[in-house]
Structure 1
Amino acid sequence: MTAAPTAPPQPHAAAAGPTTSSSNVRAWTVTALLVVFMMVNFADKSVLGLAADEIRADLHLSATQFGLVNGAFFLLFSVAAVVVGLAADRVSPKLLLVLMALLWSVAQVPAAIGGGLAVLIGSRVFLGAAEGPAFPVAQQATLAWFPNHRRNLPGALITLGVTLGVIVSAPGLSWVIQHHGWRMALWVLAGVGLVWAAVWAVFGADGRHQIGTAGANTRAERAAAQVPYRRILTSRTWIGATVAYFTSYWTVALMLVWMPSYLRNGLGYTADEAGTVVIAPWTIGAVALLAQAGITGWLMRRGTGSRRARGWVGGALLALGAVCCLALPLVDGSTARTVLVALGFGLGGSYAAVAATSVAELSPPSRSGGTLGVMNAVVTAAGLAAPAVVGALVDAQGSDGYQSAIVLSGLLLTVGAAASFWLVDPARDIARLSA
């Protein structure tokens, strides 16, 4: 987020000589493959949102029912994230990743073949269980190729894969849905998952750097390596990063599930237009992620601590997103509202890299997979609640329910920004864990 080698980590693995040119190439090759991994992951997540109106018409679903279907994706998502996150401290991430990709493809098949609401729910629950550990394990596998001071960019790129997955797939999947049906889109995603698994099996590899307290060379570091999970999970940094990431993920869930419907039914875009406009918040999020990585890296190279370089920069993104969401009722016209929603959700949904790198810095090597997995489990509970809450608002208020949902998101992002500013300080909590 080696992070999870098959053999116990060696005390001086992180300092095993200078980085060679070939290992550097391998590190970025693995990073590129894992960016694509996250692209496939979020294309899988976004497909139902892109086909929301078609699925609701085909299966005769209310907005609340459709929200519950999408929430079902997260029913086992969090449990799987914890279980596999803990396993990632002992099992090769390369093996875990290829197994996950294969299971994603299998999960698409039942709903792609046919069936009604029950089949769709079962398929999404299975897919959610298979995808739950994806982000923490991908972060762990990537960051294990880089020392701490070089992790901001690769960590951001893995998160960028989330946005690129929607940006790249949304127009193509929308076209498939409009011309060949939403079930054909599931077949396409199943095939893409199989191709990635085959490529990763050949070119994937586990990294050599430990995550967290590097090297365990001092008495304090050796003590930190034995710290129980309980102390890490009750640290202010872990709590602050998790709360902030939860509010950020709330907006991500709404972008995945309800943004296309809001564009079509709330702002009057056609299906084809919505399939293009929907990439706007994801594009803004991608730019925000790269900017955050650049600013954070620059600050840390100048000696700025993680509290400001990560916690404050990430908190600023959430605060800006909150302002845009809360301003929505103050403007009229579809263009102005599209701009505010794109900025609010794009900026608000870009906290994941800050959360992952902050927790990775905090955690000792033997605890990184578990702490990242538990964080992901708590955070993605937002994906279980957000679609159902918005569905209920839409059923109760009609198209005005979308605006209420966006304002609610702004309030949550305000809480997340405060948590990031006030609580995230890895250096302080590392010292406390080592005491």
Structure 2
Amino acid sequence: MTGQEAPGKAPVCARFRYVILITAALCLTSLLSNMNTYNFTKICMVPKNDSTTSELDKGRQYNKLEQSWLQACVAIGALAASVPYTYMFQRYTKKWIFLSAGIISALSTILIPTANEYGFKYFLVARTFQGIAFSATFPIIGALTADWATLTEHGLFCGLLTGCTQLSQIFTMPVSGALCTSRWGWPSVYYVHASFTIISFCFWILLYKDTPEEHRLVGQAELKRLQTGKSKKKNVREKLPYKQILTSKTLWGAWIAAFGDLLAVQLVTMFNPQYVNDYLRYNVFKTGFLAALPVAVQFCLKLIGGVSSDMLTCLDETLKLRIYNSIALGASAFFFIILAFIPRESNVTAIVILVFAESLLGFNTAGFNKCITLHSRQFGHFGMTQIMNIWAVTILLEPFVVNAIISANTFEDWRNCFLIHAGILLLCNAIFCVYADAKPAPWTCVADEKPDGEEMIARPAATEAAFARFYTSSSRIF
């Protein structure tokens, strides 16, 4: 049975697109989890004096500079592979191109314990290949959402697939904590993650097709829903008004807000385990669960923020942008300031405040992210691509900056680290609130819009096209 089966022939599953969504989410989570493995295992990859411990499990003691490079090199790999993957996704079958990323990620992850044994340079190469695999994630998110989501489900697909950033940490942190303290030691973290990747991509091979029309498990009713309201034209390009976009105060305000937000996000991703284990002195097992707790709450708030912002129709759209962005950046900064003055001895209080500080960042989906798409409309993909550029910059900068600040791992070091990030968040949020504007920019040609009823019919196709262009173009960054 195919997507064009005979009338009356029932499909195996009336909502098979959700099976595709879950399968893709598993694969994306596995790729991102592989990237996050070192952020945790660096706290347990220390030499042991136990003579019964194998040489492989003993690990190596890397200095702060080497640790910074091991965290930052994934961004270098992603940047290097962005152009090749962009080209391949445009020319070849997306199913097999994304599978290649899974193979690269699984192999590089499973080889890391051996690479570590040979030395820092080999470890660095393996980590770089994990970044290369990551560069395939955003193109597949865009392609899958454009083809497999109905127009009313773009938010669901976008929220879950981009939320794999949080899901990967929710998986990696506790699993790594349990494995590091087991008799198998830290190398088992990489073997388990690689196995998870292999299993996830086996489902990908079995279940995924590039389009619903190709899939034998998609029935006519579901296919009709997937095709409703979508543009029949493919790869239609509209000339970008570069000058107007790059001189837009609203977009610059959103990009500045993104910079502050993503610096804090990288602090969470890269240094949570170190803060909980090295500074608060929780054991490795507890560190895994405690480091994942704020991220789990952040993922829930990310979904709540996006949905509630759409449902809250009693407030002006621009006001909503300012409110949600202020919750994400301003409220987070407030809790980071409190956290800066909590002593090591009050570790339970520190964890509670840490959860508030980090989880509130999840409201950014209804702040600067939404501002860019509302203000630049059909050109939203270009504005969002710049956020991916900023993301790359923060991944490269954060390890070196934070390691320099917390070199002695003292109360003063962490206080300064949190206060600096809080100050950046407050400044960036203030700039955003001044220039935030939900109205479409003049260069989006809003004069061509129809009356309300007709506009709502015409807008979905443009939204779909912009959405697809955003994720396709963002692949040039990761």
**What TM-score range do you get, normalising by the shorter chain?**
0.7 to 0.9
Aligned residue among 413, 432, 435 for 2:425:
413
Q: Report the CA distance between 1:263 and its aligned residue.
A: 0.8
Cα distance in 1 for partners of 2:246, 2:230 equals 19
The amino acid that maps onto 2:99 is V
Residue equivalent to 1:48: 38
Residue equivalent to 1:178: 181
TM-score (norm 2): 0.72
Residue equivalent to 2:457: none
Residue equivalent to 1:327: 338
1:373–1:259: structure 2 CA closer, same or farther, 3 Å change rule? same
The amino acid that maps onto 2:293 is A
Cα distance in 2 for partners of 1:359, 1:21 equals 39
Aligned residue among 260, 264, 268 for 2:281:
268
* 2:67 is equivalent to residue 66 of structure 1: yes
Looking at both structures, which has the greater relative contact order when contacts are Cα pairs under 8 Å and sequence separation is at least 6? 1
Cα distance in 2 for partners of 1:135, 1:21 equals 30
Residue equivalent to 2:28: 38
1:142–1:229: structure 2 CA closer, same or farther, 3 Å change rule? farther
**Which sections of structure 1, spanning at least 5 residues, go unmatched?**
1-19
Cα distance in 1 for partners of 2:246, 2:304 equals 29
Cα distance in 1 for partners of 2:433, 2:98 equals 33
Cα distance in 1 for partners of 2:70, 2:274 equals 15
Q: Which secondary structure does the structure 1 equivalent of 2:402 belong to?
A: helix
Could you report, residue by residue, the CA deviation over 1:103-153 in whole angstroms, capped at 9, with x for unpaired residues? Answer: 211222432324221111111112112213424642553255446654333
Aligned residue among 347, 350, 368 for 1:337:
350
Cα distance in 1 for partners of 2:13, 2:238 equals 26
* 2:389 is equivalent to residue 377 of structure 1: yes
> Which portions of structure 1, spanning 4 or more consecutive aligned residues, are displaced by more than 6 angstroms?
20-24, 207-210
Aligned residue among 154, 169, 173 for 1:151:
154
Cα distance in 2 for partners of 1:99, 1:229 equals 34
What does 1:216-231 align with in structure 2 at a 5 Å threshold? Answer: 225-227=238-240
What does 1:188-203 align with in structure 2 at a 5 Å threshold? Answer: 188-203=192-207
Q: Report the CA distance between 1:82 and its aligned residue.
A: 6.4
Q: Report the CA distance between 1:311 and its aligned residue.
A: 6.0
Residue equivalent to 1:17: none
Q: Which secondary structure does the structure 2 equivalent of 1:428 belong to?
A: coil
Residue equivalent to 2:128: 125
CA contact (8 A) 1:81 1:373 kept: no
What does 1:267-416 align with in structure 2 at a 5 Å threshold? Answer: 267-299=280-312, 302=313, 307-309=318-320, 312-332=323-343, 333-348=346-361, 351=364, 359=372, 362=376, 364=378, 368=381, 372-396=384-408, 398=410, 400-416=412-428
Cα distance in 2 for partners of 1:55, 1:133 equals 29
Could you report, residue by residue, the CA deviation over 1:275-323 in whole angstroms, capped at 9, with x for unpaired residues? Answer: 1111121122022112102212213xx4867645556424422221111
**Which sections of structure 2, spanning at least 5 residues, go unmatched?**
1-9, 48-58, 213-224, 447-478
**CA RMSD, aligned part only?**
3.6
Q: Report the CA distance between 1:216 and its aligned residue.
A: 10
Q: Which moved more, 1:236-245 or 1:257-266?
A: 236-245
Q: Report the CA distance between 1:382 and its aligned residue.
A: 0.6
The amino acid that maps onto 1:99 is S
* Greater Rg by CA: 2
Q: Report the CA distance between 1:352 and its aligned residue.
A: 5.5
Cα distance in 1 for partners of 2:14, 2:432 equals 32
Residue equivalent to 2:270: 257
Cα distance in 1 for partners of 2:209, 2:428 equals 35
1:328–1:295: structure 2 CA closer, same or farther, 3 Å change rule? same
1:80–1:433: structure 2 CA closer, same or farther, 3 Å change rule? farther
Q: Which moved more, 1:420-429 or 1:164-173?
A: 420-429
Cα distance in 1 for partners of 2:326, 2:72 equals 27
1:309–1:79: structure 2 CA closer, same or farther, 3 Å change rule? farther
The amino acid that maps onto 1:28 is Y
Could you report, residue by residue, the CA deviation over 1:368-388 in whole angstroms, capped at 9, with x for unpaired residues? Answer: 4x6644431322321111122
Cα distance in 1 for partners of 2:83, 2:388 equals 8
Q: Which secondary structure does the structure 2 equivalent of 1:181 belong to?
A: coil
1:254–1:132: structure 2 CA closer, same or farther, 3 Å change rule? farther
1:202–1:230: structure 2 CA closer, same or farther, 3 Å change rule? farther
Q: Which moved more, 1:113-122 or 1:36-45?
A: 36-45
Could you report, residue by residue, the CA deviation over 1:190-245 in whole angstroms, capped at 9, with x for unpaired residues? Answer: 222222222123323446899xx97599xxxx9x8332566556545554443333
1:27–1:304: structure 2 CA closer, same or farther, 3 Å change rule? farther
Cα distance in 2 for partners of 1:376, 1:313 equals 21
Residue equivalent to 1:98: 99
Q: Which secondary structure does the structure 1 equivalent of 2:282 belong to?
A: coil
Q: Report the CA distance between 1:68 and its aligned residue.
A: 2.6
Percent identity among equivalent residues?
Answer: 15
Residue equivalent to 1:28: 18
Q: Which moved more, 1:302-311 or 1:281-290?
A: 302-311
CA contact (8 A) 1:253 1:382 kept: yes
Residue equivalent to 2:137: 134
CA contact (8 A) 1:155 1:356 kept: no
Residue equivalent to 2:163: 160
